[in-house]
Structure 1
Amino acid sequence: MFTNNRRQEERTGKYGTPRLQYLQDLVTQFQSTTSEESKEKILANLANFAYDPYNYVFLRQLNVLELFLDCITEPNEKLVEFGAGGICNSCVDPANAAIITQCGGVPLIIQCLSSPVRNTVSYAIGALYYLCNASNKEGILRPEVVDVMKRYAAAGAVSVTFSNLAQAFLDKHCCELQ
């Protein structure tokens, strides 16, 4: 599940690649490849690493959060999906959330609410749930965003996942608006 220094040493062994170097290698591969399929696989891998708090410092150090944001502006829906997933996985951390917000991530994530890819929409709802705080509440709780969340919350027959995530968002952030 989650890693710590001792567990990481056990997994990599005496001659294994340190996590920072491994993540740097992934970022370098992503930047140097021209294959869309390779980019998708590498980004999916990075998004999975974004789930573990052990990696947060490394992700910030390597500007992976900015990479995720760049990817959600791509025409390739898989890159958008994995970029949104990486943001969702990492934004529970306040330092990561601050970077995502400072880099203009909130409007980009809001755009993902209308994606044709279900996972992208789920990741966007989850990310907005964690990103919404006193400093950016006005930008997130705009009427059109709240309306989308209300529609997703009411769409339980279409998607229980959307419905549950959107309802959690509304319960936490919009109780005074309802």
Structure 2
Amino acid sequence: MSDRIMFSTKERLRRRTPAAGIDREEYIEHLVEEFHTTTNVEAQEQVSANLANFAYDPVNYPFLKKSSCLELFIQTLSLPNDKLVLHGIAGICNLCLDEYFESVILAPTNLAAITALLPKDNTEIVLQALATLTLLTTPKTKEQICIPKVVRDIQRLRESKHIPIKRLASVFIEDNCTKTEIIQLKLLQNIRKNLSQSIRQFCTVEQFRVGDEVTVVKRITQKEVDDFARLTGDTNPIHTTQVPESKRVVHGALLNGLVSGVIGTRLPGPGTVVLSQKLHFLRKCYVNEEVEICVRLVENRKIMRVQFECQQEGEIVFKGDARLMMTHFRL
């Protein structure tokens, strides 16, 4: 991102303005008035572009404050015209390091209008919004800006094909998230990718019969156990390389997660909501050994019931049952 500060002074501004020229303060007020009164969209686009350029130079800040130019920029963010949105967020980005303008921009509704731009398809708008948030985020404002949804949106931008967006998103995440938070973001992102690859249409109760069964065989690796430990915070040494592999145990909740995966994608499948579960952990389940996960439909009505079990080397290590409901849902 290029340097946004122009080292202008009032004296230099006076030298740049012809003796017979219009007063800068008056000109900015005329521009703001024209934006609000004209019905010509092209005129609004030209005016907002000019005002965004004026916002680049701190010597104009007093005039921009007096004319309520920031309020105009914020107003454009909710308009359907991408040029107006771009000029508005560019102007906000230019103003946001000023203490007065910063306090206005950080008002909850104004900040929400900026963060709402992050998922847009227009890369220029996204880059300006991301730059604005990067400049605004300090130890004092971090808690207000780095809410989960905003961080998730910026994490997704790290995968952008637009190189400046990708780099700036990485800088934001690395500067404002802990290593643990970054790992959790990556894990959640991988989960979403896996879900997006499993596009299935919603199923109805009538498609199933009592006795329907699905069996999946899975080898749970140490890496998967480690990832689950980081995601949940359950770093009990019995799950880690601190103990010999022959004694290393898989998290019980991870086994239940595998069962949930079968329920949510295979039987009954997408659209399933778990209402209640009964769980029984009968034996230890060891890392790097195959686990056979079986889910069986035992009641088929509006509230369905399945029984499930996980076996390792022919012995049941985990079993239970769950009451489920199908929803009208489509991935």
| Larger RCO (CA under 8 A, 6+ residues apart) | 1
Structure 1 partner of 2:174: 171
Task: Please tell me whether the aligned partners of residues 69 and 84 of structure 1 are also in contact (alpha carbons under 8 angstroms).
Answer: yes
So what's the TM-score if we normalise by structure 1? Answer: 0.90
Who is 2:276 aligned against? none
Offset of residue 134 of structure 1: 4.5
> Counterpart of 1:114 in 2: which secondary structure?
coil
* Pairing 1:29-40 to 2, within 5 Å after superposition: 29-40=34-45
More off after superposition, 79-88 vs 130-139: 130-139
2:24 counterpart residue number: 19
Is residue 72 of structure 1 aligned with residue 56 of structure 2? no
Match of 1:142 in 2: 147
Q: 1:20 to 1:103 in 2, by over 3 A?
A: farther
Which sections of structure 2, spanning at least 5 residues, go unmatched?
A: 1-5, 183-331
What amino acid is aligned across from residue 163 of structure 1 in structure 2?
K
| Distance of 1:147 and 1:93 partners within structure 2 | 27
Post-superposition CA distance 1:80-125 (Å, at most 9, x none):
1111111111112222111112373110000011122111100110
Aligned residue for 2:133?
Answer: 128
Q: Which residue among 113, 122, 136 is the counterpart of 1:117?
A: 122
TM-score scaled by structure 2? 0.50
Instruction: Give distance in 2, aligned partners of 1:32 and 1:141.
Output: 37
- Output the CA distance in 1 between the equivalents of 2:55 and 2:101: 10
**Distance in 2 (alpha carbons) for counterparts of 1:3 and 1:18:** 17
Give the 5 Å matches for 1:79-98: 79-98=84-103
Confirm or deny: 8 A CA contact 2:76 2:84 kept in the other structure.
yes
Cα drift, residue 147 of structure 1: 1.5
The residue type paired with residue 86 of structure 1 is: G
Q: Judging by fraction of residues, say which structure has more helix.
A: 1
Match of 1:108 in 2: 113
Shift of 1:175: 3.9
Letter in 2 for 1:67: L
Aligned length, in residue pairs: 176
| Equivalent pair of 1:40/1:78 in contact (CA under 8 Å) | yes
Instruction: For 1:50 and 1:117, locate their aligned partners in 2 and report how far apart those are by CA, in whole Å.
Output: 22
Aligned residue among 62, 84, 101 for 2:67:
62
**Code of the aligned partner of 2:120:** S
Q: Computing the radius of gyration over CA atoms, which structure comes out larger, 1 or 2?
A: 2
* Equivalent AA in structure 2 for residue 42 of structure 1: V
**Counterpart contact for 2:53–2:91, Cα < 8 Å:** yes
In the alignment, the residues of structure 1 paired with residue 102 and residue 34 of structure 2 have an alpha-carbon distance, to the nearest angstrom, of 25
Q: Percent identity?
A: 36
